[in-house]
Structure 1
Amino acid sequence: MKTILWRGVAFNSLEYFNIQEKQDHQIVVSKIIGYYQEKIYSATYQLTINKQWEIEEFFIDSEVDMIKNTLTGKKTGINWEINHFDNPSFKGFLYIDISLTPFTNTLPINNLQLKIGDSKEIDIIYIDLINNNIKPVRQRYTRTDLREYLYENIVSDFTARIQVDENGLVLNYPDLFEKIAGN
């Protein structure tokens, strides 16, 4: 088991994160609390990830200014069930991106196994917990160094150089997240 504490720089948050290796998958359990855009929020998420770092299932409980929300997702073949209903918008998607955590960047970073200088565009299920929104998004990852990746959101032109540790877990995501403790 690995435990990490991340600070959300832009999101005024703390995240207590655990990842546990099982025989044929990994389980992530995490808790986030914070304050962003004059909204107090908390979120708890649990992810099931296969050995290739592809998301298989997620469960997210969140509360923003006392409004509670639960979001579930389960991959069935190449399809996704979101809150128990088939959602064709996400057909074939392998990853999710939860807005309030740097961890979900680890999924494509570890799955793609890019060589330095290589890049790949991918489709992501983007989950904006603050605004209670879920949508498909196109992203690009480029490996720029042994432990650095250029992240690009294709639609919004947002870019960031993300530093990771030897396990692909985020150490520094400039102006958004930084690891402050871990074992």
Structure 2
Amino acid sequence: MKTIIWKSTYYESLEYMQWKKEAELNIFQSTVIGLKDDNHWLLQYQVITDLQWNLRSFQLHAMVNAVDWVVEGQFIHGKWSINGQERSEFENLKFIDISLTPFTNSLPIQQLNLQLGEEEPIEVMYIDVVHKELSRVQQSYVKLDKETVRYANVPKDFQAHITIDEEGLVVDYPGLFVREW
């Protein structure tokens, strides 16, 4: 089992994540607590991938300003079931991006396996925890060197040079997150 702690000065949050491998699966379980702009939250999530980092499922339970929000997703044969309902607007999306955590950037970083200088535009299911919304968004990743990936929203209204470790996990996401442990 591996434990990771991220701190965010932007979101005024702290995240404690554990990663374990079990029966040919990666299981990531995390708790995030924080506050920003009069919003306070407790987020607990679990993400399950196979050993090649292909997303299988996720569960999240958030309490934002004392209001609960639960989302459970299963990815089977290119289709997403969210809280038991098939959601065609997310069909064939291989990745999720959960706000308030740098972890989900590791999913495309690991699975895309980019070569130096290679750029890959992707579409993801963006999970906005504070506003309790799911949406389809475009992102782009470029491998700049062994330890640096450029992440961008498309259209490129935001980008960051993310430092990663040998396992593709975020070490430093400038202005947003830094790994403490």
Q: TM-score range by the shorter chain?
A: over 0.9
CA shift at 1:24, angstroms?
A: 1.5
Q: Structure 2: any 5+ residue segments left out of the alignment?
A: none
CA shift at 1:55, angstroms?
A: 1.4
In the alignment, the residues of structure 2 paired with residue 28 and residue 39 of structure 1 have an alpha-carbon distance, to the nearest angstrom, of 25
- What are the Cα deviations for residues 18-42 of structure 1, in whole angstroms up to 9, with x where unaligned? 1101231110100000001111111
CA shift at 1:156, angstroms?
A: 5.5
Q: Secondary structure of the equivalent of 2:109? A: helix
Q: Secondary structure of the equivalent of 2:167? A: coil
Aligned counterpart, 2:58: 58
Q: Structure 1: any 5+ residue segments left out of the alignment?
A: none
> What do you get for the CA RMSD once the two structures are aligned?
0.9
Q: Is the 8 A contact 1:96 1:124 kept in 2?
A: yes
**TM-score using structure 2 length:** 0.98
CA shift at 1:155, angstroms?
A: 3.4
In the alignment, the residues of structure 2 paired with residue 57 and residue 154 of structure 1 have an alpha-carbon distance, to the nearest angstrom, of 25
Pairs aligned (count): 181
CA shift at 1:157, angstroms?
A: 1.6
Q: Secondary structure of the equivalent of 1:104? A: helix
In the alignment, the residues of structure 2 paired with residue 121 and residue 104 of structure 1 have an alpha-carbon distance, to the nearest angstrom, of 16
In the alignment, the residues of structure 2 paired with residue 18 and residue 31 of structure 1 have an alpha-carbon distance, to the nearest angstrom, of 9
> What is the percent sequence identity of the aligned residues?
35
Aligned counterpart, 2:140: 140
Code of the residue aligned with 2:59 in structure 1: it is F
- What are the Cα deviations for residues 139-183 of structure 1, in whole angstroms up to 9, with x where unaligned? 0000001110000100352100000011111000000100011xx
1:149 and 2:149 aligned: yes
In the alignment, the residues of structure 2 paired with residue 116 and residue 156 of structure 1 have an alpha-carbon distance, to the nearest angstrom, of 20
Q: Where in structure 2 are the equivalents of 1:71-82 lying within 5 Å? A: 71-82=71-82
Aligned counterpart, 2:35: 35
In the alignment, the residues of structure 1 paired with residue 175 and residue 74 of structure 2 have an alpha-carbon distance, to the nearest angstrom, of 31
**TM-score using structure 1 length:** 0.96
1:23 and 2:23 aligned: yes
Q: Secondary structure of the equivalent of 2:105? A: helix
- What are the Cα deviations for residues 94-142 of structure 1, in whole angstroms up to 9, with x where unaligned? 1100011000000000101111100101110100101111100110000
CA shift at 1:92, angstroms?
A: 0.7
Consecutive aligned runs of 4 or more in structure 1 exceeding 2 Å deviation: none
1:115 and 2:115 aligned: yes
Aligned counterpart, 1:70: 70
Aligned counterpart, 2:46: 46
